[in-house]
Chain A
């Protein structure tokens, strides 16, 4: 008698276990496209078939199919790829500013200035020609201002983006620390923490996109998160980062200490959105701004010197064509047509001395000759050469960055594919599992039927 009851118990356990399997399969299917979801496998265990125990099956829990190595690789690749993409976005907007082919560059405005001097030499006494010099100088100043201002604004925007990034990092650190705590509690209570672990992995991946991130598991099963070489999540405690500017206006990253002080970790910032911003803002953009300012300063200074040496149609001399500071800092943004000549075409100094006005063209010719004179980059290049170099360097920086984006993107795709292959849900597989558990469930139901029939047979026989 005990045998048949046992069979019923075995069948009952089987139904439970197989329907658990069906549930797990269902969860996998439902979450097939949930970001960060790691496929689960129902873990079934045989119960010993002994004289007292029934030899059935028992569901003991879930397995999250993960691989720490691949997860770390994915985190690393995400950081590098995100840095490259962020940097490239900035470079794209810088490049657009110097797009002479598209008619938005500074080059044609610069060329027009020299061409206007040439025209002035041809017809020094013509008011229209003189007014054209002022117009060309004004257009050059406007274009330089617009370019300089856009670069400066980009730098400000990037700082704001970096601040947003730091805020997000701090937020993520809090969340990860909280998840560490919740996972520890759930594990202690014997609950399944898979969902929480999925969330934690996803947050860490998110963090990797923001900053170079390294993780490891400590002795108590907590995930320790290090960003830019500094521990930001230690077990269930989160620290925070902060951002500042140094005396040159470059970004500085600090790890806030619990005591109140902070230590600089800028030099360890290499990856993620923040790393990309740092490189784009303080290296690429800074470099372009500096070269642009130097070029504008050199051109304006050389033109001023020559212009001041000449004499206007009104007989006045010593006047500058441009207002420019004494150093190249912010030269592109500050460049203006000098108030000495603004709105006064007659003050354009075409002649070289007061006795050769108004028909003298020596100084206009000398001004137009500056085109061929090495006035830029420490008097080693002409303005056109220097501008060409600037275009070339902007272009090659962007081209390199585009290649970087492609390479890092390909690596990331590869690693993501590895991760998917390991932890992703395959619907085909789940379909097979579904059928498998379904069949097993049906077979277990059959077992109940068989046990019932045997019982009936026995009762009928005994009862006769």
Chain B
């Protein structure tokens, strides 16, 4: 074959430019640690990465939802604990009031204490969290209980996405904890006790005991329910956190460059490039006319 100068130039230039392109790619991978930086680097991997990053975004959103609602759920639980304690105190007052040795004045004093308990309980039932009134259902901007104990809220649930297949309700129901919707109207029971004590009606005091007990257990049931919700949130969080880890690992498995391999490829190509340059130089030096 007849070899001309142009062929030599072309072949040296072609080989160098091809090697340079591969070397640049390898250098980019080694430097960034990213194997799939453009969809065409690996189309299937790029499509998977797009879906994984969508999943990751959903997981992140769920975890931040869990963090965000968990605070209110905990606040609701501790509020209900306090409410339950208050009801226990009310029961003690009722027991004291039932003691036959007490006089009307002493019972009136006990009645005053029951009234204080009711006020405190209304305060607790009107607790505000980050999302508004905790026990108001969806009417989070309306004070759920009046000073008399009338309910202005509703029994709507606050549903959020924490990764469960069914929507998870994360609020404690004020209606079920404090009003007749749960079986007993807690404030009416306290009112009954107050009236019985105030009117020095020993029989009525005895009768109110049962209602106070039922009210307390109603509050305790609600407390347990929100406790279960908190457990669910925690369980979901650990599931989402595991998914998060798995997702990150998949993304890195699919999209990241193996550092050892990337580096050795780069070194290999660097050497090849250097060699190619010196070979190219000697090829271009070869021209016979220089010898004439």
Contacts and interface: CB of A to CB of B under 8 A. Distances in A.
Interface of A: 32-33, 91, 95-96, 98-102, 105, 107-108, 110-112, 114-115, 118-119, 121-126, 351, 355-362, 365, 368-369, 371-372, 383-385, 387-389, 391-396, 398-399, 402, 413, 416-417, 420-422, 424-431, 435
Nearest to B64: A119
6 contacts: A121-B159, A362-B167, A417-B7, A422-B2, A424-B6, A429-B2
Interface centre among A33, A394, A395 (most CB of B within 10 A): A395
Main secondary structure of the interface of A (DSSP, over half): helix
Contact of A361 (B4, B50, B159): B159
B138 A356 contact: yes
Contacts of B40: 91, 95, 394-396, 398-399, 402
A101 B34 contact: yes
Interface stretch (B54-62, B100-108, B185-193, B209-217): B54-62
Given A122-B65, A417-B10, 15 more contacts: A101-B34, A101-B36, A108-B57, A124-B131, A126-B131, A356-B154, A359-B140, A384-B51, A389-B47, A396-B43, A421-B2, A421-B3, A426-B3, A427-B287, A435-B292
B131 A424 contact: no
Contact of B138 (A123, A360, A425, A430): A360
Interface in B53-105: 53-55, 57-58, 60-62, 64-65, 68-69
Nearest to B42: A395
Nearest to B70: A122
Given A359-B141, A368-B161, A395-B40, A425 B6 contact: yes
A118 B65 contact: yes
A33 B7 CA distance: 11
A421 B4 contact: yes
Nearest to A424: B4
Contacts of B42: 395
B137 to A, nearest CB: 7
Contact of B47 (A111, A357, A395): A395
A125 B132 contact: yes
A427 B5 contact: yes
Given A358-B140, A392-B46, A428 B288 contact: yes
Given A387-B50, A420-B4, A125 B141 contact: yes
B226 interface: no
Nearest to A367: B161
A8 to B, nearest CB: 32
